[in-house]
Structure formats: C-alpha cells, structure tokens
Structure 1
Amino acid sequence: MADDSIAVVDLDRCQPDRCSYECASYCPPNRTGKECIVTRGEYYEEDEPFDGDPDQVRISEEVCLGESCGICVEKCPFDAIEIINLPTELEDDPVHRYGENAFALYGLPVPESGKVTGILGPNGIGKTTAVRALAGEITPNLGTYDEEPSWEAVLDRFRGTELQTYIERVQAGDVTIARKPQYVDQLPKQFDGTTIELLESTDERGALDDYIDRLGIRPVVDQPLDTLSGGELQRVALAATLARDRDFYFLDEISPYLDIGQRVTAARLIRELAEEEDRAVLAVEHDLAILDLLADTLHVAYGEPGAFGVITDPKSVRNGINEYLTGYLSNENMRIRPEEIEFHEHAPRETSKATPLVEYPELSKSYGEGEFSLDVESGTIYESEVLGVVGPNGIGKSTLAKLFTGALEPDEGDLDFRLDISYKPQYIEIDQPMRVDAFLSSITDDFGTSYWKTEVANPLQLERIMERNLDDLSGGERQRVAIAACLSEDADLYVMDEPSAHLDVEQRVQATSAIRRYAENHDETVLVIDHDIYMIDLLADRLMVFDGEPSEYGHAATPQEMRAGMNDFLSDLDITFRRDERTRRPRINKPESQLDRKQKKQGEYYYAP
C-alpha cells in the first residue's frame, strides 16, 4: 500500500461466522498468491498470542493496493473494512495507533495555563485518546504499536514545539487532571448518594458554594442523583469538576440539556477558572456560539471517525470556526467537507397568504396547587413551516409539546386538533435489545427504499449502525435514530424536542438539513424545541418564545417572526448576538463590550442591522 494509506478493520463489525470471507476471496493480491487479507489466527500463530477472535481478518498494509482498489470494502457484507488515503500533508507518523488495522491519531492539542483551549470536530476522531496522552494515562507509541513506547521518544518528537514543556511535566508525573464526562446521565450509575455528598467529595478549592449558587443547583443538593433531570446532572457534573484542585481540566461537552442562559453562565465560570486560577482547560463543545465565547484558541479535528483523526495546530477561535464551516483549512491546505455551511438572514414569513394547519386557543395547564403551571396564548401554526420554540429550561416547552400530542390534557382550552402528530421526546427511551433496522422498518413501509435512504437514512448517517441493537447505541447515535423514527411516520405535524442533544457539529448540520429538506420537499410542518441558536437559526421560519419563572410558572407567546421573537427571548437573558461578517453565523457578543452595549441601547439583541 502507498505510504499515505491505512487499512482499518472494525472488529465489532467483522463477523466471520456469518460470511464467506468475501474480502479475502476477491482481494487481487490474494488471488495472485500473496497474503494480503488473512485470518488473525493464521497470521499470529507463529508470532505473539493475542486477545480476540482468531477467525476475524487482518489486512497487510504493505501488500494492500490501497483505496484505488477498495474491493474488500465493497464486498464485506458487514461494512467492517475501510481503506483510506491519508492527507498528503501528514508528513509525520501517528502520535498514537492502537494496533494493526486500528485507529490512528495524528497531532495533539496544546494545553496552556491561564487559557481555555477548544477542540472542534466530530465524535470518534480521537479527542479521548489525546486527553489520555496529555494526562499521562497512555504513553503515545508514535505509530510503532508493536514496541514498548517511551516518553523520551515522545519528547524528542515534540522538542522545540509548544508542547515540549507540557510533555516534560507529564513525563515527570507532574500533571493532575479533572474530567467532566460527556454523558452525564451515567453519573447516578457511578455514584450512589445525594447531590451534596458527591459535590462535597470534590471540593478541593473551597469554591463549591459559589458554583452551587451560580449554576442554580441549590434546590437539588439534598436530592439523590438518580432523581435529577439531565440539565441538573450537567450542572452538578460541571460544579464537581471545576471544584477540584488540578493542573489540567478536560470538559467534554458542557451544553447538552442546558438552556442558553445556563450555557453562558457555564462558559463564564470556566473562563474564570482558567484566567483567575491560572489553570489549563481543554474543552470539547459542539455549540459553536458557546465555543466562540468560551475558548482562547482552537484546534480543528478532522479525519474518518473510528479510523483516523488529525488535530491541527492551534488557530484563532474565529478563524478556526469559520474554516470549519467553510470546509477548508487554509494553513493545512485541506478540504474537510465538500460543501460550505451557509447561514441566511430570515426575511419575515408572509403569513397573510399562508394556509393555517391548526389554530389553537388560549391554554393553561397546572400540575397541582403550588406546582408548575403554564399559560399559552392563542396562535396559528401554518402549513409547510418550521416553527422554532425557545425559552429557559423548566419553563413549559416540553409540557406544550405533550399538550399538542395529546399526552397531557389542558385544564383550560380545547385542543381538538384531529391531526396525526409524530413526536420525538426530549429524553429518548429506546433501550431495548432490538436492531436499529428492525426498529425503523416497523415504523415505515418506506424503509430501505432509495427515497427513504436519500431523505432520512443517509443525512443522519444511519448505515453503519443499522445492525446494532438500540440498547448498545451512544447518546448521539440514539438521537439520530429517534429523529429518523420521527420523520419516518406519516403525520400532519412533526414535533421534535431538542434534536441537537449529543450530536457533534457535523451531525447537527446534517440533522438540521434533513429536517429542513424533509419539510420543504414534502410540504410538512415541523415544530422544533431546541437551545442551539445555530440550529434554530438554520431551521426556523418563525418563533414561539417562552418566559416566566423556571419550575414555577411559564408563559408561551403567540408565534412571531424571527427577529421580533429572538429580540424578546434574548432581552430576557441579557445576551446579544451579531453575525460574523464572513460566514453570517451567529456570534455572542462579549458581555459589556462596546457592541453589546450598543445593541442593547438599540433594542436589537438578535443581530445588529
């Protein structure tokens, strides 16, 4: 194989007991008598023993013809093989490779005391591997996976770079790390106790009380962890991580389940930790508006998830995000996406000529005396529109969705829609030992058709997980399946509650495009509840804004055009946005900056005119 190619075998997908070794049978080098694709047991029997299935295959990268052949990739019935041409710009060997035909990571981020370093890229691209190396938990093998790695070799590799001093500290065992996990819903399984018991066990800097108050988790400190909502668990996890006294903090997604106000508060706390305590913070975040506000420098990560990942040299945050959105990295001379992600300023929707899908009256819903209550102004949802719904957590947005779907009955007002409604809830409960393809085929007769693949499966990247069980999926994979299930139903109204949660930036864009294109191509009506301003900006024609006092009472205004709705919403949060001059993407203004004060004075919180 050419030096700039690698072969990857996904051993979780390789199922020799269910195939006829088509990959080996059709391999051109094999057919000429060379040993390119053989079983692992056959290869290793005279070498060192290994763990795993000896009937699974290994591919000789020295003999393989490379991506220009690709016959084994096409013939494998379980999509377990990838032959990938690496970018020619990768002059060095990998920083770490997990073994033959396994994932390879190129490059490392550069933590810097007193600053927040951001990483922007898809899931499965090596961010966890990079953090384990920076924490000293693994010694990078520099691609030589069959020899014992050494920190001396790693230091020689990075000598004279910005990483040299940091690696010297790691080599001396002088770096301590605090981690905030990506999936906070796993916390109750890892810690059996109350919120305050967990938090007090992490209070190493005496900052816990301040974090509890500013993150708004005082009301739940005496509750068991397994009674908390996703947003409460996210804030507890953040407080527990920041309260530790460490050299290096790794924060894997701070935004899931948090509303935009809570996201901004979290970003401010993280910046304070870095700047005032002179700590190094590395943050992975998929909400680009928050990443823009949070980070001082940015590494873009690209590659093939599960196969190889490349982490670029540090860039300015603005340039890094803009290059990621345009799909072209200028310093690396690398195109990472065929199309640019474009943002459009929405003209007011002309509703006088639109056909109403449903007109709903004033509604109210209470959960009991002294409990949460919701009042909804009357309004109209039009055919073929995407209606965005925004507001803080605990303000009644999910309650409205359940009223519309009939899962809840209003106390006042009559919702006789007589509509077929397809609903994707906020918290996805599809934990069952059922394959993804069986689950989706039970929902629609269109499953497997070219139309369904083009409109639903391909944009949501479902092909590689079709044979997996629902209860084995990650949070992001489960989210994509739930969106597909919602769009696959025949309905008059599609209601989606937080479709962006646990999706990386690329997946959010693809999910947004799938939802928008489905609505436009089929003249369907979609109601989307989400906290990601980028997704709402790309999706929505109009906006329904919620305000009130979280967990006490909520008020839903009648739907209005985007600018008026966003101004109402953002003025309550005291946050202003502007559009980037180059890409027109939404950007949060720094609090009390000149532009922030100017827009507030003009009453223009949603992009200055």
Structure 2
Amino acid sequence: MVRIAVIDYDLCKPSKCHQECIAFCPVNLTGGKAIEMSPERRKPVIYEETCIGCGICVKKCPFKAISIVNLPDELERMLVHRYGVNGFKLYGVPVPRQGRILGIIGKNGTGKSTALRILAGELRPNLGIVEGAPPDWDEIIKRFRGTEMQNYFKMLADGKIRAAHKIQYVDLVPRRVKGRLRDLLERADERGLWRDLARDLNLERLLDRDVRQLSGGELQRFLVAAVLSKDANLYLFDEPSSYLDIRERIRVAKAIRSYVPRDSYTVVVEHDIAMLDYLSDHVAIMYGEPGVYGIASKPYGVRAGINYFLKGYLPAENMRIRSEPIRYTISFTRQASAEAKRYIGWSRLLVRLNGFRLEAEPGDLHEGEVLGVVGPNGIGKTTFVRTLAGELEPAEGSVEKPEGQLKVSYKPQYINPEVLGEEKTVEQLLREANPSTLSPGSWLNVEIVRRLGIDRLLDRKLRELSGGELQKVAVAAALAREADIYLLDEPSAYLDVEERLTVAKAIRRLTEARSAAAIVVEHDIAVQDYIASKILVFTGTPGRHGKASRPLPLHEGMNLFLKELGITIRKDPETGRPRINKEGSFLDRMQKRLGKYYYLPRPSEKEEGETEE
C-alpha cells in the first residue's frame, strides 16, 4: 500500500493549537519521527515513509487540516504531479483526441483544473518529485511510453501544442483587463472571426461597452469568443456554462462545436451534465478524495461515461467511486392538497426597476411545494424573487401574505461577504442561522455541512473563502434558518454534480419536514427536473421587459419553456437524467412535431434514444 499524507496549510494554524498531532503520534513516542514542525515552514510535516497511518493526528487536529489515505501500490506508477511535500497528488491525465471534444466531469478538488494546466503546458508534471531537480521532458515522456499521452507530451515538449485556455472564474477578468469589448476582441482575434463570434454569441449590442460593465454571463460569452478567435491547436474551456441561462448555454455549445478547428484538441470541464452530454464526443471522469488526491479515468463514450459517473461505478477501472448512485428517475411532483396551507399569493403584478418592466400573472405557493423559476438572464427572475421577499414594492398589484409574520430565508444570486460580515467565521455565520446546524447528530450537519465539506471551513473567515466555498456556505446558511419560504437564487452556481444533488435533496427534505415551501431560480435543467413540483416560466426581452406565467405543473411548464427555447429533451432510460436532443435529429424532429418538447421515453424507446449518439 502507498500512504498519502496531505496537510491543508490554509487550514493548519499551529499557533492556535497545542500541536497534539505531534505530541500523540505513536511513532514519535517510540523514538521515531513521523511528524514534526518544519523549521522552514513553521508548520507540521508528515513523513509518509515512517507514518503508520494510525490516524491519531487526523483526529487530534482541531482544524481538520490533515488527511491520510492508503492506496494500492500499482497506482503510484500513474503519479503525474504533486504539489509539494504533503500536497495534493494527481494520478493520470485525461486523454484528449485530435478532432474530438473531451468532456471532464468530477467532484471539485479532484484535479480537473490541474489536469487542464498540464495539458496546456502551463504546469510541467513533476511525477511526484517535489525535492531536488524536477524531471526533464525526456523523463516525463519515458514515463508515458506506450500510452496515448506519449505522443501528446512529445508534441508539448517540442512546442507543437499551442493552447487557448478559458479560465474558470470569469469575475477575475475585469481586474486584469481594461477597455471596450470591441477593442479587446479585435486584439485577441488571430483567425479573422471576431465579428462572426460576436454575432453567434449575442455580443454585438455590447461591443461598445467597457469590460468592467459586463455581467457574469456577458463576461463568460466574451471569454469564449476570445478563446475561439485564437489560432491554437488545443482549446480548453473550464466551466463555460457558469452564469449563463439555458439558451445561452446551447448557444455557447454550438459555437464551440462550430468554430473549433477540426484537427485540434478540445477539452471541456463542466458540471451541468445536460450541457456536457450535448457538447462532448467522449468523457473522462475525475474521482478521488477532494483536496487529497485525484485520479483520471479512461475515456468513455458520452452516454456511458456520464451514466457510470452517476451510478458510481467505473467498469474499466473496476472502481466504485460512490456508495450510492445518483438517480433522476423520480421527480418531486407532489402537488399541494386542498388542505395545504397557503403561504403566499400574488395578484397580477407590475414592477418597474431602472427602466425594466416586469409583469407577472397571479399565483400562489402552498406548503410542501417547490416552485422552479426558469427563463433567460435579464428577464426579471431575480426582480420577481426580491418582490416576493419584500425588498421591492410593485407599481401595480400586491403580494398577499397570511396574518402574522411570514419567515423568509433568502439566498441572493451574488454573494457579498461584506453583507454577510466578512470578518465573521463560517462557524459564526452558521451558528447565527441555526445553532443545531453544528450539532454532530443533526440532519442539517450530516446532510449539508458535512456533505458539502463545510466542516473543514468552520474556522475560516468569509473574506478568505473562494467563490465556490462562499456559495456553499451561503446556501447552507439559507437552508439552516427556520423559515416558511426559502427563496434560492441560483443555488448550484460553482457546485459540482454531487453537491448540486445534496442541495436539491436538502431543499426537498426541508419542504417536507418543516411543512415549508421553496422558490428556486436555477439554469441547470437536471436540477429543476429533479426538484420542482411546479414551474414558473419567464419570457420577454432581456433587459427591457419580462413576463412571468402563472405557476404551472412540471410537465406543462417545462414543455412551454423548452418550446420557447426551441430545444427538446428526452430522459435517459437507465438514470432518468434529462438529455438534450441534437438539433435536427430524429427525436428532435419527432418531439417538435408532436408538441412534446419535454418528453419522458418509455423503456421500449431506449434504442431510439441511443441513435442520438
């Protein structure tokens, strides 16, 4: 067995503890040396050669900064990179193929972004050699002899791979880039395509706008256009669907497929499985222990690969990556009974805000219901939620609430640490929301705090958290509060597939256990399909005028929404997950002819669905 000992030095605070991890180590107590304070780092270092893996240091660390894992010896031959002593280990690299789009799916913290940097040549793999001279390219190529990656790394070493990389966090762009969108696209353009890309990615009306004035979705489309305009032979897209509505996600997927040169390598990291399915030609799965080690699977066919990931078993590796499968087969279709308590209602509403006009049809919300809100960006979804929350007053109509105080828990679209209290720790925020959240035996602690990995962040201040960490903490705090209605605006942003399911399950359980109701604004079709009992559809002209339908039953609402988008969806017969039909395919034409844009295939139709590949 190979022992991996990892210390998260962002969490480790030796000045705030009694260093019991060192004092109680049995190897140290018997005269050996398995863990000690490093004079250079002034923090502990674990020696994996002498560590016996007893786990005492893991239990004694008050900040949960230490992880020790035992892995098979054979895996060490696949070691590609390690981030220093007691740092994260990456085993294997996803294999890109010329002329094909490789999709990568997996948990956050399992090495997806590290793999992209290695493929792009931004990070030279050190083969686990963290001290002394790093390996040269000849040694790296020799390690991969006889594999598909041998020729790839040879091309990388010879400078024959030129990469164009779309980064994960688009909100960093305005801090580093200045100027008008038109000038920036012209400057980035190496293929003479910037005007066509601006048209196909709906950027034409934004060309004279300063990049600092762009929203998250507009920045995302700008970056995709800038990357596609580069003359490269490797195109990397790290989460290209973030901040985008479903229509824009399809538009971006079509642009990537249309504008990437046919003989190039293309790699896409994506957590929206419907988008990944629609875009990819084959799929690699990243699995392991987040923050400790990650393993890249062999490439699979798109449908099979995503289904294996959801089922939690990879047959080519004979590896179980999850104790229980993720299933989308049962949607939360419970309807309110006649006796169900009516929490909130609204008449026909007219809301005016900074030149934008929102009209909403009358509706109401009962206990036990989850109302999914869908529609394009800039159409008034957040404005509607803020109106129900009491933050905005409608120009016409009214929001009807029962007598007495209605408790509302609101998670906004954009999380501002200053509003939450940036000097607060995560523990303080969760304790203020609900003290039982931190009780080890409570379901909130088990199903939310621990499953989302928030228990490792309790001592961190909010201002120290990354975008993804802050999103998880904000969602956990919103769900922890005792409330009658939970208003959640894009709760899955930055979360991986498993974390999205964790949040969806928690929302379902809350509405049932607390006899509460929820309104969820979400662009991920799979999440809405899984969680919603009713659908509110927004249409109109983004930025100018929006119109909200009355709350519709799931099938009726999804059908109306997808018809507006002009796309059709089928259900995978094995996992029940939604799959977007390729435009013009047999199923796409048939469902449009029947008027069933949201369609649940019977088992006998499995073969027809598979012809989509």
Q: How does 1:128-139 map to 2 (within 5 A)?
A: 128-139=113-124
Match of 2:312 in 1: 327
Q: 1:487 to 1:116 in 2, by over 3 A?
A: same
Match of 1:40 in 2: 38
- Residue identity in the other structure for 2:351: K
Match of 2:64 in 1: 79
Match of 2:364 in 1: 380
Of 542, 546, 551, the match for 2:543: 551
CA contact (8 A) 2:246 2:376 kept: yes
TM-score, length basis structure 1: 0.94
> Could you say what the CA RMSD is over the residues aligned between the two structures, in angstroms?
1.7
Q: How does 1:45-444 map to 2 (within 5 A)?
A: 52-53=40-41, 55-66=42-53, 69-86=54-71, 90=75, 92-146=77-131, 147-274=133-260, 276-346=261-331, 349-351=334-336, 353=338, 354-367=340-353, 371-417=355-401, 419-431=406-418, 432-444=422-434
Deviations 1:369-392 (A, max 9, x none): xx3211111012111111111111
User: What secondary structure does 2:139 align onto?
Assistant: helix
- Residue identity in the other structure for 1:405: A
User: What secondary structure does 2:399 align onto?
Assistant: coil
- Residue identity in the other structure for 2:414: Y
Match of 2:459 in 1: 467
Deviations 1:346-404 (A, max 9, x none): 48544452432222111111236xx3211111012111111111111111111100110
- Bigger mean CA deviation after superposition, 82-91 or 549-558: 82-91
Sequence identity of aligned pairs in percent?
A: 46
CA distance in 1, matches of 2:72, 2:486: 41
Match of 2:606 in 1: none
Aligned length: 591
User: What secondary structure does 1:222 align onto?
Assistant: coil
- Residue identity in the other structure for 2:130: Y
Offset at residue 345 of structure 1 (A) = 4.3
- Residue identity in the other structure for 1:448: L
Deviations 1:206-256 (A, max 9, x none): 111111111112222211122111111111111111111111111100111
Match of 1:537 in 2: 529
Match of 1:568 in 2: 560
CA distance in 1, matches of 2:467, 2:307: 27
CA distance in 2, matches of 1:348, 1:336: 29
CA distance in 2, matches of 1:539, 1:608: 16
Match of 2:5 in 1: 7
Offset at residue 197 of structure 1 (A) = 2.4
Match of 2:21 in 1: 23
Deviations 1:479-513 (A, max 9, x none): 11111121122221110010011111121121222
User: What secondary structure does 1:442 align onto?
Assistant: helix
- Residue identity in the other structure for 2:357: S
CA contact (8 A) 1:297 1:315 kept: yes
Structure 1 alignment gaps of length 5 or more: 42-51
CA distance in 2, matches of 1:588, 1:8: 40
CA distance in 2, matches of 1:280, 1:87: 32
CA contact (8 A) 2:484 2:515 kept: no
CA contact (8 A) 1:424 1:486 kept: yes
CA contact (8 A) 1:136 1:173 kept: no
User: What secondary structure does 1:58 align onto?
Assistant: strand
CA distance in 2, matches of 1:87, 1:297: 27
Q: 1:347 to 1:530 in 2, by over 3 A?
A: closer
User: What secondary structure does 2:438 align onto?
Assistant: coil
CA distance in 1, matches of 2:296, 2:36: 32
CA distance in 1, matches of 2:423, 2:515: 35
User: What secondary structure does 1:536 align onto?
Assistant: helix
Offset at residue 587 of structure 1 (A) = 0.5
Match of 1:46 in 2: none
CA distance in 1, matches of 2:429, 2:332: 39
User: What secondary structure does 1:92 align onto?
Assistant: helix
Offset at residue 467 of structure 1 (A) = 1.1
CA contact (8 A) 2:328 2:530 kept: yes
CA contact (8 A) 2:28 2:35 kept: yes
CA contact (8 A) 2:313 2:322 kept: yes
CA contact (8 A) 1:29 1:64 kept: yes
CA distance in 2, matches of 1:161, 1:346: 43
Structure 2 alignment gaps of length 5 or more: 602-613
CA distance in 1, matches of 2:124, 2:216: 35
CA distance in 2, matches of 1:441, 1:480: 15
Q: 1:352 to 1:140 in 2, by over 3 A?
A: closer
Match of 2:507 in 1: 515
CA distance in 2, matches of 1:464, 1:120: 23
- Bigger mean CA deviation after superposition, 515-524 or 182-191: 515-524
Q: 1:78 to 1:434 in 2, by over 3 A?
A: same
